[in-house]
A and B are shown apart, each in its own frame.
Chain A
Amino acid sequence: MRTTRRGFLRALAAAGIAAAVPRPAAAGPPCAALAGRTVRWIVPTAPGGGLDTTSRLLVPQLSRVLGTEIVIENVPGAGAIVGATRIRNAPPDGGTIGVLNAPALLVTNLIGETAAPNPASDFTILGRIARSRQVWATGGRSPLRTMDDVLERARRGPIVFAVEEVSTPGFLSAALAASLLHLDAAFVAGFSSGRDTALAAVRGDVDLVSFTFESILDRIESGDLRPLLQISATPVAEHPSLRGVPLLGGPGGLAAREAARLGQSVEEAQADAGAAEAILGAGRLVVAPLGLPPAVLSCLEEGLFAAASSPEFVRLASASERSVEATRGPAAVAELRVVRERAARFLPAVRAAVERARRP
């Protein structure tokens, strides 16, 4: 049983870091629609995880931009479903907003096992503060040097991935990309943390892991891990270690190449790769209940974008190894629309991957 007391203390530290930063001048006029009110920011996980830490770095900035008090409330439980439900059911008056890890909830909805709120349809999306851009990586001592080696190995037996849990972006990335590349993938789940999961690849107990590039950059630079595939149509970062590492999507991407090799539609493969990237890239969304008044919606959207793209927030996030990328609400909504349209195509692949992960 994991104690998240450790997480709580990290949250405390993050709050302290944020409080210690010199305050910038206000980015714009305060939000009149929220004047004199206290806004609740729901974090659907226990203190100290990624969502919570990012929130504690962002909320002080947002509070200053909006000119209103924002109070963070942790509502953990049931894999973030409790907190997400609390946001969805709150009165649509701007008094309650929150942050979600969209890919996790999308997976839960895709496999339909639990009545979880759907980020694509059950919320007003105010914006995105971080996008998950994954890379596949193998251990530094692994005999798998390139994706060609991986594809060759896959013809003889399953490629083994280590994942924390079935609902993580890492699992989803592995499941979706493996289905696009027609890879036979097996999943070993249950590692206690991201770093522990990565260690399984370093040890050689598994073939591959999937993480955001920033979170394993230190392991890549030390030679413990080697990136093999970028789950994206464009490079996930400018870094020497990614030179020569193929992309999944795009015209020259691996998905299109494999589709051509197998005599399947290249355009469909590229569209599927784009949808997979959109599902993963749904990232961390800031949401509110459906039916917000237009003035409140506009104010929250603009304020969130200003806070999430402020230099102070970006610097603080970087100091705690968090990649952040601000996207306005309408753009995030447009991407999620693609996800909704394409998600059904991935349903069999995701279901099969979940079954495989749960197999004895």
Chain B
Amino acid sequence: MTLAWPHFLLLTGTTLLAMVFSLLPGVNAATLAALLIPFTFRWDPVTLLLVFGPLVGGATFMGSVSAILLNVPGNPPNAATLLDGHPLARQGQAMTALGCSAAASALGSTFGVFVLIALLPVMREAVLLFGPPEFLMLAVLGLTTVTAVRFGSMVKGLAAAGIGLLLSFVGQDPKTGELRYVFGCLALWEGLGMVPMLIGLFSVAEMLDLAASGRRRIADHEAFGAPAGSVREGVLSVFRNFGLFLRCSVLGTVVGIIPGMGGTVASFVAYGHAVQSAGADRARFGQGDIRGVIAPEAAHDAKDGGSLVPTLTFGIPGNEGTALLLVALGIHGIVPGRELMTGGLSLVFVLIWSLFFSNWITSLVGLAVARPLVRLTLAPTHRLVPCLLGAAVLAAFAAKGRGSDVVVALLAGVLGYVMKRHRWPRISLVLALVLGRMFELAFHQTLQLRSLGKVALAERPVFLALLAVTAFLIARPLLRGLRRGGGAA
């Protein structure tokens, strides 16, 4: 059904539209979904799902294109890609980075889709396996990667993570509602928004660095007439690092299954894992290590398949796209749950294949259109900087429609610039920022449920498995150091 030519035309057309939206900072495919919903009233369910497949997560590679070329993430989850993707572009390896990103994106999405299909019979039970104790261990697991991504002084890395955690505590305490670190400012009651913080720490900070450096162009060399890397090399790099790709795809899928964690967590935790698992061979991370592109791309796109698990079984959206998918399904009287998973399974497969094909279309077409965009790296910075700063301002504003978010983004931009300038690891701060609130909430909830006798930690297999993995990851560098007879790594 999906491969009939009118359906394929529809799928391709929507994918192309989604790609345009994903490329622009401040808007994404979910924006397109919101705009299309009024037109879906008279559509049949198959058409609806063919259109929403790309909008749920089929065009995310395009956000990576602006991250790699311009150091400005198209969407917050793409921020992890620029850490090594943009340095590669500056070194004249833009097409290598883009080829790698496209391949990891498409293959990661494929992995997520196949896991989703494999989980179909047990989707409900898979979601029910994760409660506050499991969220706590996942947050701890993610935070352990902080020690790996420090790129230098361990003290600085841990301190940056501490600062990130403290920033995550701003606002109402998730358990008691008590206000913390708001200084009487009502705009801070709900905490520092993730979107403005990431826009500031990466987009604004990078633009400030570009302007302050006095560089006339993004690229460090003239790329006219010279190759900007090799797509083939980029694609092959995914297969050369297939173990890393698989692990990050698994990570992304698991994160996707857990309601509320999102693509940003998946990308950054995967990046942290890539550095952590590199062991002694981590010197090039942050300066153009291709593994720093593979990890977040694979995780971010594998997450899309995973995020459909809670959406289709319990109606819990994993991201903006799935939230709007639920709105569209509701209009057509399609209710997630047992009924959809039994009597409506053919519709579920329409959505799955739509997601699958749209990711491949995006990667292939995206690579073709990205080549001319590489020339943007030669655009004069004095023109690029104000335009991209302006786009960042609007992106921060568009999140909640509040001017205070723009101020947060600009202040975060100054912080990010200072950190970059004086070699404080932003990635450690961001990891702690994205995980801090979840960690604290899950910590309190787990303690409370345990004291009320509602959870027995020893009887929760997923919790125990995550505890074992975390312990191993913490112990491994210590054991390695002991074996070498020197200090810890």
Chain A partners chain B = yes
B338 touches A (CB below 8 Å) = yes
A234 touches B (CB below 8 Å) = no
Q: How far is the CB of A159 from chain B (nearest CB, A)?
A: 10
Pair B320/A9 contact, Cβ less than 8 Å: yes
**CB neighbors of A among B217-245 (8 A):** none
Pair B176/A357 contact, Cβ less than 8 Å: yes
1/0 per residue B460-482: CB within 8 Å of A?
00000000000000000000000
Could you say which of B34, B177, B399, B433 contacts A4, with CB atoms under 8 Å apart? B399
Within 8 Å CB of A192, what residues of B?
A: 259-260
Pair A76/B400 contact, Cβ less than 8 Å: yes
1/0 per residue A211-226: CB within 8 Å of B?
0000000110111100
A46 touches B (CB below 8 Å) = yes
Could you say which of A1, A160, A202 contacts B128, with CB atoms under 8 Å apart? A202
A19 touches B (CB below 8 Å) = yes
A192, B316: Cα distance in complex, Å: 11
Pair A10/B323 contact, Cβ less than 8 Å: yes
A5 touches B (CB below 8 Å) = yes
A209, B460: Cα distance in complex, Å: 22
A47 touches B (CB below 8 Å) = yes
Within 8 Å CB of B331, what residues of A?
A: 17, 319-320
A33 touches B (CB below 8 Å) = no
Pair A6/B400 contact, Cβ less than 8 Å: no
Within 8 Å CB of B314, what residues of A?
A: 195, 199, 202, 219, 224
Within 8 Å CB of B189, what residues of A?
A: 77-79
Pair B38/A20 contact, Cβ less than 8 Å: yes
Pair A77/B315 contact, Cβ less than 8 Å: no
**CB neighbors of A among B324-341 (8 A):** 324, 327, 330-331, 335-339
Residue of A nearest to B448 (CB): A188
User: Would A321 and B401 be within 8 Å (CB), given that A10-B323, A195-B314, A199-B259 are in contact?
Assistant: no
Pair A157/B38 contact, Cβ less than 8 Å: no
Number of inter-chain CB pairs below 8 Å: 166
A26 touches B (CB below 8 Å) = no
User: Would A9 and B337 be within 8 Å (CB), given that A3-B194, A320-B327 are in contact?
Assistant: no
Q: How far is the CB of A172 from chain B (nearest CB, A)?
A: 14
User: Would A3 and B195 be within 8 Å (CB), given that A82-B186, A186-B452 are in contact?
Assistant: yes
A19, B35: Cα distance in complex, Å: 11
Interface size class of B (residues with CB under 8 A): 35 or more
Interface size class of A (residues with CB under 8 A): 35 or more
Within 8 Å CB of B35, what residues of A?
A: 12, 16
Pair A4/B338 contact, Cβ less than 8 Å: no
Within 8 Å CB of A3, what residues of B?
A: 193-195, 399
User: Would A1 and B437 be within 8 Å (CB), given that A10-B323, A17-B38 are in contact?
Assistant: yes
Pair B187/A5 contact, Cβ less than 8 Å: no
A165 touches B (CB below 8 Å) = yes
Pair A74/B34 contact, Cβ less than 8 Å: no
Pair A20/B41 contact, Cβ less than 8 Å: yes
Pair A77/B190 contact, Cβ less than 8 Å: yes
A329, B171: Cα distance in complex, Å: 36
A224, B37: Cα distance in complex, Å: 29
Q: How far is the CB of A105 from chain B (nearest CB, A)?
A: 14
**CB neighbors of A among B437-467 (8 A):** 437, 441, 444-445, 447-449, 452-455
Could you say which of A20, A77, A320 contacts B187, with CB atoms under 8 Å apart? A77
Residue of A nearest to B41 (CB): A20
User: Would A165 and B320 be within 8 Å (CB), given that A46-B401, A190-B444, A206-B454 are in contact?
Assistant: no
B305 touches A (CB below 8 Å) = no
Pair B317/A6 contact, Cβ less than 8 Å: yes
1/0 per residue A241-279: CB within 8 Å of B?
000000000000000000000000000000000000000
Pair A1/B37 contact, Cβ less than 8 Å: no
A219, B124: Cα distance in complex, Å: 12
A288 touches B (CB below 8 Å) = no
B162 touches A (CB below 8 Å) = no
Pair A47/B401 contact, Cβ less than 8 Å: yes
A221, B337: Cα distance in complex, Å: 10
A357, B323: Cα distance in complex, Å: 29
Pair A358/B175 contact, Cβ less than 8 Å: yes
Within 8 Å CB of B324, what residues of A?
A: 9-10, 13
A345 touches B (CB below 8 Å) = no
Within 8 Å CB of B445, what residues of A?
A: 188, 190
A158 touches B (CB below 8 Å) = yes
Within 8 Å CB of B194, what residues of A?
A: 1, 3
**CB neighbors of B among A45-97 (8 A):** 46-47, 74, 76-79, 81-82
A239 touches B (CB below 8 Å) = no
Q: How far is the CB of A130 from chain B (nearest CB, A)?
A: 17
**CB neighbors of B among A8-32 (8 A):** 8-10, 12-14, 16-17, 19-20
Within 8 Å CB of A13, what residues of B?
A: 33-34, 37-38, 324, 327
A203 touches B (CB below 8 Å) = yes
B254 touches A (CB below 8 Å) = no
A189, B437: Cα distance in complex, Å: 14
B91 touches A (CB below 8 Å) = no
User: Would A9 and B41 be within 8 Å (CB), given that A1-B168, A193-B316 are in contact?
Assistant: no
Within 8 Å CB of B317, what residues of A?
A: 6
Residue of A nearest to B339 (CB): A222
A267, B400: Cα distance in complex, Å: 48
Pair B315/A9 contact, Cβ less than 8 Å: no
Pair B330/A319 contact, Cβ less than 8 Å: yes
B138 touches A (CB below 8 Å) = no
Within 8 Å CB of A17, what residues of B?
A: 37-38, 331
Within 8 Å CB of B176, what residues of A?
A: 166, 189, 357-358
**CB neighbors of A among B271-325 (8 A):** 314-317, 319-320, 323-324
B418 touches A (CB below 8 Å) = no
Within 8 Å CB of A82, what residues of B?
A: 186
User: Would A166 and B177 be within 8 Å (CB), given that A74-B401, A158-B452, A321-B330 are in contact?
Assistant: yes
B402 touches A (CB below 8 Å) = yes
Pair A5/B195 contact, Cβ less than 8 Å: yes
Within 8 Å CB of A109, what residues of B?
A: none
Could you say which of A1, A166, A193, A205 contacts B454, with CB atoms under 8 Å apart? A205
A77, B403: Cα distance in complex, Å: 12
Within 8 Å CB of B16, what residues of A?
A: none
A188, B331: Cα distance in complex, Å: 33
**CB neighbors of B among A308-322 (8 A):** 319-321
Within 8 Å CB of B402, what residues of A?
A: 76-77
Q: How far is the CB of B348 from chain A (nearest CB, A)?
A: 15
1/0 per residue B113-139: CB within 8 Å of A?
000000000000001100110000000
Of the candidates A166, A189, A321, the one having the most CB atoms from chain B within 10 angstroms of its own CB is A189
Within 8 Å CB of A2, what residues of B?
A: 190-191
Residue of A nearest to B453 (CB): A157
A245, B316: Cα distance in complex, Å: 27
1/0 per residue B336-367: CB within 8 Å of A?
11110000000000000000000000000000
Within 8 Å CB of A78, what residues of B?
A: 186, 189
Residue of B nearest to A194 (CB): B316
Residue of A nearest to B75 (CB): A5
A165, B400: Cα distance in complex, Å: 21
Known contacts A13-B37, A20-B39; 12 additional CB pairs below 8 A are A5-B398, A6-B30, A9-B33, A10-B34, A82-B186, A157-B452, A189-B177, A195-B316, A199-B259, A205-B455, A319-B331, A357-B175
The 3 closest A-B pairs by CB, nearest first: A16-B38, A20-B38, A358-B176
6 A–B contacts, CB within 8 A, in A order: A3-B399, A47-B401, A76-B400, A82-B186, A190-B441, A205-B449
